[in-house]
Each structure stands twice: as C-alpha cells, then as structure tokens.
C-alpha cells in the first residue's frame, strides 16, 4: 500500500504507511533525506552521486537516480536545483577517480557533506578500493555503493563474478572490508532499514569516519519492498564536539605546566574541527610554538609569531630543531605518521612526553601519551582556560623567533633561485604562493612536491593547503580538484601534478569539461620521478627505472631517448585549455590567464628533474638491501644503519 506524497512526507496515518519502492529507489530517497548539523548549521549529507553504470547498477540504483530526477522535474523543481528526494548524478570516467572526487569534496566541506559513489559489479567496484583505502586512512567520509553478485544465485556465475570454490558468499567486494570503516552487503531489502542508518552514523562520527561500503547485489537493487514511510523522514546527524573529561584535562594540564620546551604538533583534526581560532588563541596565551603536519598545515597561519611550520621527515630546520629538544609534545588532531615523527627520530629528548588531544582514543593513546579525548576545538579552548597565566620562558620564545626567521630566509632563497635553464619547482611554488589568494585551494598528493611544499609553503588559511599525504596516492589531484571546486565554487582550485601522476589518472579532465568545472591544473613536467629518482640515488639504487626513457637496444635498459609523449596535446584532447611554459615569468602570466578564464586550464611547465629541492635535516626509514654486490648499495646500507640508531620507541 502506498500512502505518501512523492517526497516521502508522511501522511497522517504515517505509523502504518508504507511505500513500495525498489532497493535502488529507496536508497536514493533515504540518502536524499540525510543531513548533518554542527554548530547550529544543518546541511544535506549527500550533495549527489558520482557513478559509472554497468549491468550491476544501471537498472537498479541507476534507475532509482533517474526516477527521482524525473519525479522532481515533474513536480516543478527547476533545472539546476535538487528535489527533496533526489540525488544529482555526475558521470565520472574512472571509479577510482570518482572516489577521490568525493574525498576532495568532503574534505573541503570539513567532513560535513560528501558524495555517494555507485559502481557496477566486478572491476567497476574494485576500481574503488584504492579510493576507499585513501578515504579510510585520511579519515574522510565517502559512501561507496559497489554492485554485487546475484543474491538468488540463479544465473551464477555471472559476468565478472569471482567463484570461490569453498565460499559462495565471498565476492570481490570482500576486498573492501579492510579498507572500510563500515561494510555490509544487502542480501535482503529489509536489511537496509537497519544498515543504512548504521552506515550514516559511521560517516558522520568524527572519530570513526572513513569509507563506508554498502554492497548491493544486482538483483536486490531492483527488488521491490513495502518500506515504512518513516524510513524516509528527514534525519539530522549531529556531528559531535566531545568535551574533555575534567580529570583527563587536569592530567594534561599538569604535564604541560611541567614543560620547559613544549611544542604543539597540529594535524588534520584541527582543520576538520574548524579549530584554527582556538589554536591561535592557545599559542598566543601560552607562548607554546606550533608545528604542523601535511594535513594540519594552515591550521595556524604561517606568519603567526608562534607558527614554526612543517615538522618531520620533510619538515623545516626550525620545527625539527624544536622537535628534537621538546620535552613535551602536544599532538592535536594528528595520527603521527612516519613523516611527522621522521620514522621515530624527530623527538629526541630522552625524557620526552606526549599529550595527545584527539577525538579518536586510538590516536590519543599513541606514544604512551597523556590522553585527552575530545574535539580539537573544545579541547584547545578548555586547555587555554585551564592554563590561564601559564607561559613559556621568554628565552624559549626568542629561540623560536630566531629559528623561524632563519628558515624564512631559506624559503625566500628557494622561492627565487633563478635556476636555469629550466626553473626549479620551488620557484613555481614561490610564484603560486604569491599569486594564490588566501581562500584559494592548492591540491597535491604525491611526487617530490609534497616534501617541498611541507617545508616551504606559507599557508595563510586552513583551507588553502589540501595535501593528501595519508595515502599519498598518485592520481588523487585532478579528481580531488573537481570535488573541491564543486564544494567551493567561488574559490580557485589549483591541482599540482607531476608528469608521472598525470599519466596515472588524467581521465577526470573529461568529467571536468563535461560538467564545466573550472579548475586549474599545474603539470610539472620533468620527464620522470624526481621524488623516487632522488630517493633511489640516496639509497644506492642509481635512479634505476625512474625516468621515462625508451628501452635502449644497446644496453637492454630504459636508458634510451626520452619517450615522445606529448602531455600538452594529451591534455588538449580532453578539451581543457592548455598553456605551455618554460620559465617562472611565463608561468606567472599563464596563471593569471587561467584565473581570468571561466574554463578549466592546464598549465604545462617544464622543470628541472634534479631540483634543487629545499635543504633537508631529517630522516625517513626506507630500508636498503642488507647484502649487495653493488658498491652504491653497500655505501647506502651503511648510512641507513647509522640513521637507524636514532630511532626509538616512546614507551
Ligand atoms: C598510485 C601510486 N603509485 C606509486 C606511488 C609511488 N610514487 C611516489 S612518487 C612517484 C613518482 C611521481 O612522479 P611524478 O608525478 O612525475 O612526480 P615527481 O616525482 O617527478 O615530482 C611514485 C611512483 C604512489 N605514491 N602512488
Ligand atoms: Mg615527474
């Protein structure tokens, strides 16, 4: 029996009312009615659905998307607006890319809004696994809807079905389990009634969020059921700001008060919690310097008197010198990756202790810390209050000022090297830093860029610096820029990609063109892997296999001529405007042209493969072969063993 309006609004006899819809139709309607609320602002949880159709979803979830759209249009919803039961659909080009786009969107929205991603069964679905891992590692909410094999098993084995001889309920989608924070398979329609709300709870929980996966068998997607209309009522998920437990706060305060050389390490949690103001207030009041991680850069503006910049393996000398001698490290919203801890060599004071403020107990407990489980903003505000009157020594603060000033000189030099004949990429970053406005968004994930940016980028706002460095996934940048621009249409979104990254996942440029999304892509063309090439050389592997060269018939190796790949024409073929430059001055002009344009532009800039990169003072644990016939490897192994002696546990 159906007794609802098309929007799912309950009628007076709502208790008993049901509406007959397929699982695909029901899920679309359910998702359209989910909202988040934080600090009094309520918004839809799902801005839409990215998708690529195949036989697994075209007639199920896909039909649900279409029907909702047609019904909205028929009920008078104008073109370009979204009906109350509807999810706008965006056709992506690669399933991995569409998950990255959803992550880019959700991150720009501070995890309060996201996209659903629908994929066909088999390869369409497993293409999303890399994106799922990235989302879960980076703690960003995305809803993944991989299609799955028939629940009724009648036509088995269907196209693209894995047959596990000892387990007919095992499908390729089980590979999502370890990379999802919530995973379920909807074998029967009514399972959605409990599983869909459970999935929403995980998506909107700041401590648990990540990839949430609901596998949808293709026959079940098309199966009808009489749903209680209550299932489709507007729901609001209140995104919590847990406050610290008073006893835990007192313990944390006691440790901080005992410190002579405290240092804050600000991570992504500060940004997601919109705690920048609280962080600045904490630093200003206590005189405690603040270093940042890749996800936390910009949480404090670079020119705040107590901001010391990036810490760790790719950090700067100032932050690393302070880390090396800190007696109390206050980690706020950080998960302490090896880049932050320089593989457990950054914090060297023999008695160093940690106070970790984190919404996730899992992260708060790291390094035997005094745990302060709370929202970053609530926790920082409480700490500032409880520490009233407490301040670091003037001498320590003077040292901070001096070290930061020294590093800013290095930054200036790296920004204006005058390197030739091709520019160093640090000069391009200098130009970008100057040309981009405070609210514009810079996106990057992999290659030699993240290290340089972590050391050099002067982030003025928390939203300006969008580095995906949890999974450091080549190919994230272009689709993520698309997602970020959808989330922030009034800001310039600039994706920086290497030539290697570009070749891995350029396809969403086609989506960018078809959706008329104006992004700027800066392609740093250096004909190989500057990052892994330098790493290879430093670890004794002689840059083997890290340049794009033809196989040489004389040596049998990839050391022939440069591969005649033309990325300018390649990018043009997608329909984006392309500007090719070879100097910093021309780059500046090209960037201004790109900003002035309404269309997506890719700036192709030739840069020097060999850098130079900013000077590094830190260490990263990348094991070198213990036995080798190559002298370069043996030398590197000896250096590696020497480096390891600085590694320690924090027990
Ligand atoms: C999907 C993926 N595969 C492999 C890697 C390992 N990796 C890190 S950087 C890099 C090379 C990147 O080359 P490019 O994009 O040209 O940047 P460059 O190093 O030249 O700055 C590789 C292969 C990765 N991070 N992600
Ligand atoms: Mg390169």
Segment 252-282, tens digit of pLDDT: 999 999 999 999 999 999 999 999 999 999 9
Helix (H, G, I), strand (E, B) or coil at 569: helix
The pTM of the full predicted model, rounded to 2 decimals, is: 0.97
The whole-number average pLDDT for the span 357-377 is 98
Ligand 1: residue of 134, 444, 474 to mutate (most ligand atoms within 8 A of CB) is 474
Q: Give the model's pLDDT for residue 291.
A: 98
> Ligand 1 centre and the CA of 450: distance in Å?
11
Ligand with minimal distance to 133 CA? 1
Cα–Cα distances in Å, from 282 out to 182, 274, 276, 379?
35, 14, 10, 10
> Ligand 2 centre and the CA of 529: distance in Å?
4
Residues ≥6 apart with Cβ < 8 Å to 483: 100, 101, 102, 103, 104, 105, 106, 108, 115
**Phi/psi of residue 131, nearest 5 degrees:** -65, -40
For Cα atoms 12, 14, 19, give the angle at the middle one, nearest 5 degrees: 125
Pocket (CB within 6 angstroms of ligand 1) = 446-449, 472-475, 498-501, 526, 529-532
pLDDT at 10 over 90: no
What's the whole-number average pLDDT of the chain?
Answer: 96
pLDDT at 15 over 80: no
pLDDT digits (tens, 9 = 90+) for 318-349: 999 999 999 999 999 999 999 999 999 999 99
User: How many other C-beta atoms can be found within 10 angstroms of the C-beta atom of residue 405?
Assistant: 10
Which protein residue's CA is at the shortest distance from atom 1 of ligand 1? 474
* Ligand 1 atom closest to residue 501's alpha carbon, by position in its atom list: 15
> Ligand 1 centre and the CA of 130: distance in Å?
15
Cα–Cα distances in Å, from 149 out to 166, 220, 569?
16, 9, 41
pLDDT digits (tens, 9 = 90+) for 570-607: 999 999 999 999 999 999 999 999 999 999 999 999 99
**DSSP letter, residue 549:** B
* Ligand 1 atom closest to residue 472's alpha carbon, by position in its atom list: 25
């Amino acid at each position: 029996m159906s007794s609802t309006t098309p929007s799912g609004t309950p009628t007076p006899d709502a208790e008993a009312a049901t509406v007959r819809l397929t699982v695909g139709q029901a899920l679309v309607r359910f998702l359209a009615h989910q909202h988040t609320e934080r600090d009094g602002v309520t918004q839809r949880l799902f801005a839409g659905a990215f998708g690529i159709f195949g036989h697994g979803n075209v007639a199920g979830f896909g039909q649900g998307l279409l029907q909702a759209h047609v019904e909205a249009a028929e009920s008078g919803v104008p073109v370009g607006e979204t009906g109350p039961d509807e999810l706008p659909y965006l056709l992506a080009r690669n399933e991995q890319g569409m998950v990255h786009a959803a992550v880019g969107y959700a991150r720009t929205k501070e995890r309060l809004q996201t996209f659903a991603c629908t994929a066909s069964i088999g390869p369409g679905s497993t293409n999303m696994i890399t994106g799922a891992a990235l989302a879960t590692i980076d703690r960003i909410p995305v809803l993944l809807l991989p299609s799955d094999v028939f629940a009724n098993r009648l036509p088995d084995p269907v196209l693209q079905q894995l047959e596990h001889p000892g387990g007919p309920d095992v499908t390729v989608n089980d590979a999502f389990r370890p990379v999802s924070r919530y995973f379920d398979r909807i074998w029967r329609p009514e399972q959605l009634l409990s599983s869909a709300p459970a999935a929403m709870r995980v998506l909107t929980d700041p401590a648990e969020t990540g990839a949430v996966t609901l596998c949808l068998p293709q026959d079940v997607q098309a199966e009808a059921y009489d749903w209680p209309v209550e299932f489709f009522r507007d729901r609001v998920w209140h995104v919590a700001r847990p406050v610290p437990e008073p006893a835990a706060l007192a313990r944390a305060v006691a440790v901080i008060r005992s410190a002579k050389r405290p240092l804050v390490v600000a991570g992504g949690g500060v940004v997601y919690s919109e705690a920048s103001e609280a962080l600045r207030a904490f630093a200003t009041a206590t005189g405690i310097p603040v270093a940042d991680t890749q996800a936390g850069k910009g949480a404090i503006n670079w020119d705040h008197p107590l901001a010391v910049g990036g810490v760790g393996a790719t950090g700067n000398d100032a932050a690393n010198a302070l880390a090396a001698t800190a007696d109390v490290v206050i980690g706020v919203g950080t998960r302490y990756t090896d880049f932050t801890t320089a593989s457990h060599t950054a914090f060297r004071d023999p008695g160093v202790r940690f106070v970790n403020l984190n919404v996730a107990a899992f992260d708060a407990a790291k390094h035997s810390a005094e745990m302060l489980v709370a929202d970053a903003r609530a926790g920082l505000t409480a700490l500032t209050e409880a520490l009233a009157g407490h301040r670091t020594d003037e001498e320590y603060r003077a040292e901070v000022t001096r070290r930061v000033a020294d590093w800013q000189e290095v930054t200036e030099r790296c920004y204006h090297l005058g390197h030739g004949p091709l520019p160093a990429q640090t000069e391009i970053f200098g130009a970008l830093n100057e040309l981009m406005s405070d609210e514009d968004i810079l996106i990057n994930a992999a290659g030699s860029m993240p290290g340089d940016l972590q050391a050099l980028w002067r982030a003025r706002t928390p939203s300006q610096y969008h580095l995906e460095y949890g999974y450091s996934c080549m190919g994230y940048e272009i689709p993520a820029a698309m997602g970020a621009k959808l989330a922030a249409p009034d800001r310039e979104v600039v994706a920086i990609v290497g030539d290697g990254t570009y070749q891995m996942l350029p396809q969403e440029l086609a989506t960018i063109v078809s959706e008329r999304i104006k992004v700027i892509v800066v392609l740093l063309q250096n004909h190989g892997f500057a990052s892994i090439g330098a790493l290879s050389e430093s670890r004794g592997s002689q840059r083997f296999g890290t340049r794009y060269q033809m196989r040489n018939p004389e040596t049998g190796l990839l050391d022939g001529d440069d591969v005649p790949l033309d990325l300018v024409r390649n990018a043009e073929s997608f329909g984006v405007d392309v500007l090719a430059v070879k100097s910093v001055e021309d780059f500046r002009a090209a960037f201004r042209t790109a900003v002035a344009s309404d269309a997506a532009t890719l700036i192709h800039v030739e840069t020097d493969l060999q850098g130079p990169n900013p000077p590094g003072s830190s260490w990263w644990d990348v094991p070198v072969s213990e036995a080798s016939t190559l002298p370069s490897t043996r030398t590197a192994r000896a250096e590696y063993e020497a480096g390891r002696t600085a590694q320690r546990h924090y027990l």
